[in-house]
Amino acid sequence: MPLKLTQNYLMAVINTSALSGGSAGSADIVAWDEFVLAQPRAHLLQLSSWGILKARFGWEAQIVTLNERDEIQAGALVLLKRLPFIASKMAYVPMGSYISGATNYASLWGAIRRETGAAFLKLEPGHFPDGESPNLAGAGFLKSPQSIQPAATIIIDLNADDNKIMRRMNQGTRRKIRKSLAGGIVYKEGGRADLPVFNRLMQQTGARNAFGVHDAAYFAAVHDLFMPERGALLLALHDDELLAAIMVFAVGDTAWYLYGASSRSNSNLYATYGIQWEAIQWAKRRGCRYYDLWGVPDHDPATLEAEFKNRNDGLWGVYGFKRGWGGEVKRTPGAWDWPWNPIIYKAYRAALKLKR
């Protein structure tokens, strides 16, 4: 592991793609995960396991930290992607970057620049408490034309009993949940042996709704890296037929619904509603305060309500379902780019424009 002194901090760089087998450096990974879990904004996509996952599927991954007296003071999991037709890379920080003590974000972002040698940094910092988001424009970032994770989501507050959580929902969602729980569906937590049927249902759902889906190897890696410690595969079965399945994850006080699939069979049983209710129960048992439905169109609530009945493209297709659960629309600062190499960054933006 390369080390160097920078601005009075010891900077450690952990290449997670080289550590996927748990070899030398695993103690540093443990220290990083403990640091992430201690943060108020702890996020699944900043854990070392997320870097290991992405390093198996086309990315490089590094954890860059600023340390003082062997204690991490700031850091980020950084994913690196080679840019097509250009001999350079994009550095990407998903849903994070953390500072504590006397450190500042500028020092951390500068460390990422030096250690990755990337042409630019794409930052999606995730959710901040009101008024605590860093001034990204003032730090040299530009609003990005390309996001990787959804900027807006709906978050359900779980700090209530089930009756109160249901009362926040709209009438249609409550009715469908109750039907799903009374319709003879068996809800259970699945294991690795259930991945083939989960994957088939995912492929069917993706083809039906015209969105891309990860392959079987990806979901197997997700299972092996995160379950059961950080996640669960939940299944809804009726007469041994899989009607719906989702993967949910939990870190700190938040659970996330990231992957889901459903069958058109027996749609009158509303398995997609029952399985989300089961996921909420799973999150509550884990001690989570929030359940994140992960991804709605990036508009203000008034626009969402005015347009959702007339739109079915992109995330509009799922907003009609998610809006009924009584959560609150929350928006992150979105995606921002810091163009360390202006020439390559201009080429990147031009390529995006041409692609569109």
Is pLDDT above 90 for 278?
yes
Instruction: Write out pLDDT tens, residues 76-113.
Output: 999 999 998 778 999 999 999 999 877 889 999 999 99
β-bridge pairing 120-124 and 336-339: antiparallel
Q: What pLDDT sits at residue 140?
A: 92
DSSP letters spanning 129-164: -TT-S--TTTTT-EE-S--SS-SEEEEEE--S-HHH
Is pLDDT above 80 for 12?
no
Is pLDDT above 60 for 19?
no
Q: What pLDDT sits at residue 13?
A: 61
What average pLDDT does this structure show over 145-163? Answer: 96
Is 248 strand, coil or helix? strand
Q: How confident is the model at residue 191 (pLDDT cuts 50, 70, 90)?
A: very high
Domains 3-147+333-355 and 152-331 share a fold: yes
Give the domain ranges of the chain: 3-147+333-355, 152-331
Q: What pLDDT sits at residue 134?
A: 83
Task: Count Cβ atoms below 10 Å from residue 278 Cβ, excluding itself.
Answer: 25
Query: Are 227 and 283 within 8 A, CB to CB?
Result: no
Instruction: Identify the CATH assignment for 152-331 out of 3.40.50.300, 3.40.50.10490, 3.40.1190.20, 3.40.630.30.
Output: 3.40.630.30
Average pLDDT over the chain reads 90
Specify whether domain 3-147+333-355 bears CATH 3.40.50.10420.
no
Q: Which two tokens stand for residue 15?
A: 């290449």
**pTM of the model as a whole:** 0.91
Instruction: Write out pLDDT tens, residues 340-349.
Output: 999 999 999 9
Q: Which two tokens stand for residue 328?
A: 């609150």
Is pLDDT above 90 for 8?
no
User: Which residue has better confidence, 208 or 256?
Assistant: 256
